[in-house]
Structure 1
Amino acid sequence: MNSTIVLFLLQDGIINGAIYALLAVALVLVFAVTRVIFVPQGEYVAYAALTLAALQAGRVPGIVWLLVAIGAAAAVAELWRSRSDLHWRRLAAILGGDVALPLALAGIAYLAAPLQLGLIANAGLTLALVVPLGPYIYRLAFQPLANASVLVLLIAAVGVHLALLGLGLAFFGPEGYRIPPLSRYALDLGGVPVSAQSMIVIALTLLLLFGLYLFFGRTLLGKALRAAALNRRGALLVGISPGMAGRLAFGMAALIGALSGVLIAPLTTIYFDSGFLIGLKGFVAAIIGGLVSYPLTVAAALVVGLVEAFSSFWASSFKEVIVFTVILPILLWRSLRSTHYEDEE
């Protein structure tokens, strides 16, 4: 191994780590607000990448059918929950947000797909199609279990993952897709070419992380989410709805996952099941961060990306094993430091 190879591996590790950082931050956000270890976070990545690839090819993505179906299911569930005090304004809000919005987005996709409007417009349409899945999934699968234990919520998350995996195969097929990069320009950095796509990934990751910092520190909604994460009962007492906080957290997680899918679509071939492995690496970083600390989570994600890059050079057949093994000493160390309590009968 010489210095040129090291620089190439560092570049790959930082780019991968940037994507894992976004996913890990989304996992920490969802867990802090709702106590859900959201296993299918990586499905947003795969759905967004495959949706963007379909739009770039001039095809209507299958996700439009999923969006319409899940929106209708959310509407039925909400009508059932509100049956005792349903009024016309509530009915209009449910039909508008859960039925009319998915149908409108599906219509836009049908009109826009054959036009092949370009990468920027298709990326925006991809985000519009994928992001609403977050609040819908929360309302269908997790809001009814809001007071359940973390273990029950984890089992529900695994069930959602399996459902989304099967739906991904049904709507996108088993083929893998990859789109051309936004730009083929490359900057020579010490003899190592750094592609424009790599610089875009890093720049947008930093911009999004800074935006999240401002959101949580400067906006009323961000402070409400922090309050709900710190003390759910106290937040409820001061008028912060746990349901609103959960929907917002899942929506932000879907936005982060969809943006990650848009960023990596030109970098690697994505299949319907690729998101699970990508999400697991973000999960490793989130666990190292304790599912609490955002800065530590981002630093851990960069470490995971670098470990993966160098492992692929030294032992490519075992790179996944090596990445997931990183979590073991962290868990052992935390187990030794934590105080154990006996369960009461």
Structure 2
Amino acid sequence: MNTTILLFLVQDGITNGAIYALLGLALVLVFAVTRVILIPQGEFITFGALTYATLSAGGVPGTAQLALMMGLVAFGFELFSARKSLHVAKVMRAALIYIAFPAIVLALATWLPAHKPGVAVNIALSLLIVAAIGLFLYRIAFQPLAHTSVLVLLIASVGCHLALQGFGLVFFGAEGLRGPPLSDVALSVGPLLFTGQSLAVYGITLALMAALWLFFGYTRYGKALRATAVNRLGARLVGIRTSLSGQIAFLLASVIGAISGILIVPITTLYYDTGFLIGLKGFVAAIIGGLVSYPLTAIAAIVVGIVESFSSFYASNYKEVIVFTLILPVLVLRSLATPAVEEEKD
């Protein structure tokens, strides 16, 4: 191996690691706030990527129809849970969120592709669709189970993953898709070539991390999420709606997953089940970060990306095994160093 190859591998590892960092941060956020290990994060990646690719090709993505169907189900759940204290204002608000919003998004997804909108419009519409799916998924599958154990939430998460993956196969088929790049700009630095897409990965990752830092540090909702992550019972006692915190966490996670997919799909062909494996690598970074530390998760994600890059060069047949093996020593060390604690009771 010469210096040029070394630089190429490091560059590729950092690019992949930036994506894994976003996914790891989303997983840590959701687990800290809701105690849900978000296995469907991979489906948010797939839906974001393939929705963007479908819109760019002039098609109508089935995910827009899925969002409306999930919204109708979530609206039914909302009416049932509030059946003893129904108010017109409450019903109207629920109808706007769960029916009007996805219906408008579906109308836009049906009308806009024929007019060939630009990349920015397709990205925005893809994010709206996946954000709606993430929000409604929490209302349907996890909010009713919010006070159960982590194991029950994990089982529900696995079920959601399998269901959404099946919908992905129905909507997008078994063939892979690629989307147009966000930018055609190219920049050479010595032997390295930075494409517009890789620069977009770096820039958007840093921008999202900065936005999340500002959100959690300086906004009321961000501070409410932090309080819920520290102590759910205490947050409820001081008037914070933990159900709203869960909705925001899932909304942010779905948007982050969709952005990650949009950043990946111009680089490589994605299939309906590709996002699961990508999401697992973000999960490795989150585990190394202990599912609590955002900076450590981001650093671990870069390490995972670089390890994967070098593994592809030296032992491509075993690169996935090598990457996932990284969590074993971390789990062993944490199990030895952390005393057993009882799970928090709600």
Residue 176 of structure 1: SS of its match in structure 2?
Answer: coil
Equivalent in the alignment of 1:234: 234
Residue 74 of structure 1: SS of its match in structure 2?
Answer: helix
Equivalent in the alignment of 1:117: 117
Residue 194 of structure 2: SS of its match in structure 1?
Answer: strand
- Distance across 1 between alignment mates of 2:147 and 2:139: 14
Moved more, 258-267 or 315-324: 258-267
Residue 266 of structure 2: SS of its match in structure 1?
Answer: coil
Q: Which structure 2 residues correspond to residues 281-300 of structure 1 after superposition, within 5 A? A: 281-300=281-300
Equivalent in the alignment of 1:128: 128
Matched, 1:85 2:85: yes
One-letter amino acid matched to 1:160: C
User: What's the CA shift for 1:184?
Assistant: 2.8
Q: Which structure 2 residues correspond to residues 154-303 of structure 1 after superposition, within 5 A? A: 154-303=154-303
TM-score, normalising length from structure 1? 0.97
User: What's the CA shift for 1:292?
Assistant: 0.3
One-letter amino acid matched to 2:265: A
User: What's the CA shift for 1:286?
Assistant: 0.2
- Distance across 2 between alignment mates of 1:225 and 1:194: 37
Residue 132 of structure 1: SS of its match in structure 2?
Answer: helix
Residue 210 of structure 2: SS of its match in structure 1?
Answer: helix
1:236-276 per-residue CA deviation (whole Å, 9 max, x = no partner) reads: 11110010000011001011111111111111111100110
Residue 233 of structure 2: SS of its match in structure 1?
Answer: helix
Equivalent in the alignment of 1:39: 39
Kindly report the root-mean-square deviation, in angstroms, between the aligned alpha carbons of the 2 structures.
Answer: 1.3
- Distance across 2 between alignment mates of 1:125 and 1:171: 17
Matched, 1:28 2:16: no
- Distance across 1 between alignment mates of 2:150 and 2:279: 19
Moved more, 47-56 or 185-194: 185-194
User: What's the CA shift for 1:336?
Assistant: 1.7
Q: Contact 2:119–2:182 at 8 Å: present in 1 too?
A: yes
- Distance across 2 between alignment mates of 1:87 and 1:325: 53
1:72-125 per-residue CA deviation (whole Å, 9 max, x = no partner) reads: 000111111111111111111121111111111100111101111121111111
The number of residues matched between the two structures is 343
Residue 130 of structure 1: SS of its match in structure 2?
Answer: helix
Residue 131 of structure 1: SS of its match in structure 2?
Answer: helix
Q: Which structure 2 residues correspond to residues 316-335 of structure 1 after superposition, within 5 A? A: 316-335=316-335
User: What's the CA shift for 1:340?
Assistant: 4.3
Residue 188 of structure 2: SS of its match in structure 1?
Answer: strand
Q: Contact 2:48–2:130 at 8 Å: present in 1 too?
A: yes
- Distance across 2 between alignment mates of 1:147 and 1:85: 22
TM-score, normalising length from structure 2? 0.97
Long gaps (5+) in structure 2: none
Q: Contact 2:56–2:180 at 8 Å: present in 1 too?
A: no
One-letter amino acid matched to 1:164: L
Residue 311 of structure 2: SS of its match in structure 1?
Answer: helix
Identity of counterpart residues, as a percentage? 57
One-letter amino acid matched to 2:204: L
